[in-house]
């Protein structure tokens, strides 16, 4: 017999202790009650720095409150929820490639000694979890939900202070349609999907003095913006440590960026730093080769040596900074519990280079410069970009299906047969097009009148909100067909309608229907 808590509790506490400094008394807490609350915790800054593998140093990291909720009665259908209330981090660029490397092994050794209860089970078949429990552990690890309330991150570089504030952030597992779900990795589709919701994202860029104080606070670059993220990770096997394909996409419905004349040079410097980071000129990993080998330490009662960690760090350094994304999916289960990793040669085998894809999308994105002149502040909208996430094309073509004999004056012409209607914004029952979004549109009407033995006159107008915007004339007393066309480009707002009507009717007239002889068409040129 075994206790479920004896396996699940070390798994969860070990996962938390990997990134958060837990006190010895914290390991004595029981999760069997369902909820555990820990207060005033510090982050393991060196571990996080190794995980992201960027030339960035964490000056401080603090968690005010951490809650762990375990649904013991529904572990196979409900996720474990980790809630963090107020987390603050301060970052800076790494000044030296060797900073913090000498203290890393010692801190790891202290950490391993401070939690003897979390040692992996090595001997005795009776101590190993049964197959179904192993499957349960995988489910728990793949479905952990993380909720962060009040996230504060500050990046300090010389006189630049870039701060990021998020009111709430949530990460949870999702199904194929990206709806919240409790998933299980099983062949043939070994895909893990995570949805990320960021609410009230605010980004500030300020300038500090030599003492580190900010005298004048600038307007936020981004104020209270909501962002949705999707993480797609595909694995080659159930027990694979790393994803072979990782896709990370961010979408923002409305993004308004504002820059003042004070923020502009600082923003330019940040872009230069990012470009240098992208091209590897700020990556200290290339200069760090061979350094960790002099400080190799073997931990007693541990399955992983510092040489393994050094090899892993070297591999990540060779792959470049962009591989940091897929390293965020941590190895939660102990090494000796994974199939196929008992052989030392296999354990040290280098992973194949993964595929990483990052995308950013927006429905409406605008950038505004606030330039201070001699007399006043002028607001210049320098960039306005519209992306239609759902309806990239709006177009319609409709025709009169049957002849209209002697139409009355000033009446709607209903083009009742839709040939094309992308977006479904044209109503073939009343002949009216309604603009779904603001933009520039093109409209055209083409009318064919049957031959008459006597003189006849037929005028047709294109109308916008009951105002005439274009007209076509058909006057004659001939036995030939009369044909008239009119086209116009209009700037429409959401809800504006466009339609056609008859005008200046005289004599006998028959509008020819069918065979696309009388048509009304329109399409979106550009959203504005």
The string of pLDDT tens digits covering residues 446-464 is: 988 887 766 678 889 999 9
pLDDT at 427: 93
- What the block records as the tokens of 137 is 């552990």
In the chain, the number of structural domains is 2
Same domain, 18 and 79: yes
* pLDDT tier at 121, thresholds 50, 70, 90: very low
What's the angle, vertex CA 521, arms to CA 517 and CA 524, rounded to 5? 160
Q: Choose the most confident range, by mean pLDDT, from 115-124, 270-279, 318-327.
A: 270-279
Same domain, 41 and 89: yes
* pLDDT tier at 467, thresholds 50, 70, 90: very high
What phi and psi, each to the nearest 5 degrees, are found at residue 336?
A: -75, 0
Residue 124 is assigned to a structural domain of this protein: no
pLDDT at 508 over 80: no
pLDDT at 271 over 80: yes
pLDDT at 69 over 60: yes
Q: Which domain holds residue 163?
A: 4-118+136-386
Q: Is the peptide bond before 188 cis (omega within 30 degrees of 0)?
A: yes
* pLDDT tier at 361, thresholds 50, 70, 90: confident
pLDDT at 3 over 50: yes
Q: Which of 49-63, 405-419, 424-438 has the lowest mean pLDDT?
A: 49-63
Please indicate whether residue 385 or residue 275 has the higher confidence score (pLDDT): 275
pLDDT at 132: 66
Residue 125 is assigned to a structural domain of this protein: no
What phi and psi, each to the nearest 5 degrees, are found at residue 445?
A: -125, 140
Q: C-alpha distances in angstroms, 359 versus 52, 142, 402?
A: 19, 23, 50
In the chain, what percentage of residues exceed pLDDT 70?
70
If phi > 0 it is left, if psi is from -120 to 50 it is alpha, else beta; for residue 504 that is left
pLDDT at 90 over 80: yes
Which residue, 352, 386, 420, sits at the end of a domain? 386
Neighbours of 95 (CB within 10 A): 10
Same domain, 337 and 465: no
CA dihedral 319, 322, 326, 328 (to 10 degrees): 110
Same domain, 150 and 295: yes
Q: Is the peptide bond before 334 cis (omega within 30 degrees of 0)?
A: no
pLDDT at 220: 92
Same domain, 360 and 402: no
According to DSSP, the residues that pair with 485 across neighbouring strands are: 446
Q: Distance between CA atoms of 218 and 80, rounded to whole angstroms?
A: 40
Asked whether 2 and 129 are in contact (CB, 8 A), the reply is yes
Average pLDDT, the chain: 76
Residues for the chain: how many in total? 528
pLDDT at 407: 87
pLDDT at 453: 60
Mean pLDDT, range 418-444, rounded to an integer: 92
Residue 469 is assigned to a structural domain of this protein: yes
pLDDT at 404: 87
In the chain, what percentage of residues exceed pLDDT 90?
28
Q: What is the pLDDT of residues 369-404, one digit of tens each?
A: 876 653 444 444 444 444 444 446 899 999 999 988
Q: Distance between CA atoms of 282 and 274, rounded to whole angstroms?
A: 9
CATH of residue 448: 2.60.120.40
- What the block records as the tokens of 185 is 């990795």
Q: Is the pTM of this model over 0.75?
A: no
Which residue, 386, 417, 442, sits at the end of a domain? 386
H or E segment and range at residue 448: strand 439-449
- What the block records as the tokens of 220 is 């936020």
pLDDT at 473 over 70: yes
Same domain, 279 and 427: no
Q: Choose the most confident range, by mean pLDDT, from 97-111, 259-273, 318-332.
A: 259-273
How would DSSP label each residue in 341-386?
Answer: --SHHHHTPPPPPPEEEEEEEEEEEEEEEEEE-SSSEEEEEEEEEE
Same domain, 365 and 311: yes
According to DSSP, the residues that pair with 173 across neighbouring strands are: 194
pLDDT at 186: 79
Of 139, 153, 149, 147, nearest in space to 171 by CA: 147
Mean pLDDT, range 341-363, rounded to an integer: 66
What are the respective helix, strand and coil percentages of the chain, to the nearest 5? Answer: 20, 40, 35
pLDDT at 348: 52
Same domain, 245 and 356: yes
Of 81, 196, 182, nearest in space to 139 by CA: 182
Mean pLDDT, range 413-430, rounded to an integer: 92
Q: Distance between CA atoms of 150 and 153, rounded to whole angstroms?
A: 10
Mean pLDDT, range 316-320, rounded to an integer: 42
* Residue carrying structure tokens 């466009």: 498
H or E segment and range at residue 233: strand 222-234
Mean pLDDT, range 40-57, rounded to an integer: 83
Q: What is the pLDDT of residues 400-418, one digit of tens each?
A: 999 888 888 888 899 999 9
Same domain, 195 and 75: yes
Same domain, 337 and 407: no
Q: C-alpha distances in angstroms, 460 versus 56, 452, 470, 507?
A: 68, 18, 8, 15
Residue 123 is assigned to a structural domain of this protein: no
Same domain, 403 and 319: no
CA 64 to chain centroid, in Å, comes to 27
Mean pLDDT, range 270-292, rounded to an integer: 63
Q: Distance between CA atoms of 238 and 407, rounded to whole angstroms?
A: 71
Q: Distance between CA atoms of 413 and 509, rounded to whole angstroms?
A: 14
According to DSSP, the residues that pair with 195 across neighbouring strands are: 172, 230
3-state secondary structure string across 74-90 = HCCCCCCEEEEEEEEEE
Mean pLDDT, range 297-322, rounded to an integer: 40
pLDDT at 38 over 50: yes
Q: Distance between CA atoms of 513 and 196, rounded to whole angstroms?
A: 54
Q: C-alpha distances in angstroms, 28 versus 24, 62, 107, 444?
A: 7, 22, 21, 77
- What the block records as the tokens of 456 is 């006849």
Residue 46 is assigned to a structural domain of this protein: yes
Which residue, 345, 365, 386, sits at the end of a domain? 386
Q: What is the pLDDT of residues 171-206, one digit of tens each?
A: 999 999 899 999 888 788 889 999 999 999 999 999
Asked whether 88 and 79 are in contact (CB, 8 A), the reply is no
* pLDDT tier at 491, thresholds 50, 70, 90: very high
How would DSSP label each residue in 381-408?
Answer: EEEEEE--SS-S--EEEEE--S-EESPP
Quick one: DSSP state of residue 334? -
- What the block records as the tokens of 5 is 């808590």
Q: Helix 45-52 to helix 104-114 angle, to the nearest 10 degrees?
A: 120
């Amino acid at each position: 017999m075994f206790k479920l808590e004896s396996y699940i509790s070390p798994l969860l506490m070990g996962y938390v202790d990997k990134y958060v400094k837990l006190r010895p008394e914290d390991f004595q807490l029981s999760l069997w009650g369902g909820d555990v609350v820990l207060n005033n915790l510090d982050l393991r800054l060196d571990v996080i720095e190794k995980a992201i593998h960027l030339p960035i140093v964490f000056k401080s990291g603090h968690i005010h409150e951490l809650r762990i909720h375990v649904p013991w009665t529904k572990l196979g259908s409900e996720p474990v929820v980790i809630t963090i209330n107020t987390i603050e981090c301060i970052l800076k660029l790494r000044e030296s490639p060797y900073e913090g490397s000498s203290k890393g092994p010692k801190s790891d050794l202290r950490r391993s000694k401070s939690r003897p209860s979390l040692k992996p089970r090595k001997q005795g078949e009776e101590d190993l979890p049964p197959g179904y429990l192993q499957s349960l552990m995988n489910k728990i690890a793949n479905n952990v939900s993380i909720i962060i309330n009040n996230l504060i991150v500050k990046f300090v570089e010389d006189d630049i202070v870039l701060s990021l504030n998020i009111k709430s952030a949530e990460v949870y597992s999702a199904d194929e349609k990206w709806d919240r779900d409790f998933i299980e990795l099983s062949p043939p589709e070994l895909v893990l999907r995570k949805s990320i919701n960021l609410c009230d994202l605010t980004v500030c860029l300020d300038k500090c003095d030599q003492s580190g104080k900010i005298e004048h606070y600038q307007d936020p670059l981004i104020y209270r913006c909501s962002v949705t993220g999707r993480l797609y990770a595909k694995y080659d096997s159930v027990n694979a440590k790393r994803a072979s394909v990782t896709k990370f996409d961010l979408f923002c419905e409305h993004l308004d960026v504002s820059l003042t004349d004070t923020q502009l040079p600082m923003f330019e410097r940040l872009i230069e730093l990012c470009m240098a980071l992208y091209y590897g000129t700020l990556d200290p990993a290339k200069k760090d080769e061979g350094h960790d080998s002099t400080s190799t330490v073997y931990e007693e009662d541990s399955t992983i040596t510092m040489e393994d960690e050094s090899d892993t760090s070297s591999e990540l350094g060779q792959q470049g900074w962009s591989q940091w994304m897929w390293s965020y999916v941590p190895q939660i289960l102990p090494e000796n519990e994974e199939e196929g990793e008992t052989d030392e040669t296999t354990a040290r085998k280098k992973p194949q280079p993964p595929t990483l894809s990052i995308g950013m999308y927006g429905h409406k994105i605008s950038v505004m410069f606030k330039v201070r002149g001699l007399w006043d502040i002028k607001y210049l909208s320098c960039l306005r970009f519209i992306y239609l996430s759902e309806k990239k094309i709006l177009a319609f073509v409709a025709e009169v299906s049957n002849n209209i004999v002697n139409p009355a004056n000033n009446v709607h012409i209903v083009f009742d047969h839709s040939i094309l209607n992308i977006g479904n914004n044209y109503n073939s029952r009343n002949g009216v097009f309604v603009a779904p979004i603001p933009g520039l549109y093109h409209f055209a009407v083409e009318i064919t009148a049957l031959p008459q033995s006597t003189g006849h006159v037929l005028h047709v107008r294109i109308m916008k909100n009951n105002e005439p915007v274009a007209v076509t004339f058909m006057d004659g007393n001939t036995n030939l067909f009369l044909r008239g066309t009119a086209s116009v480009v209009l700037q429409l707002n959401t809800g504006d309608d466009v339609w056609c009507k008859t005008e200046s009717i005289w004599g006998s007239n028959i509008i020819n229907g069918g065979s696309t002889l009388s048509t009304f068409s329109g399409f979106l040129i550009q959203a504005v």
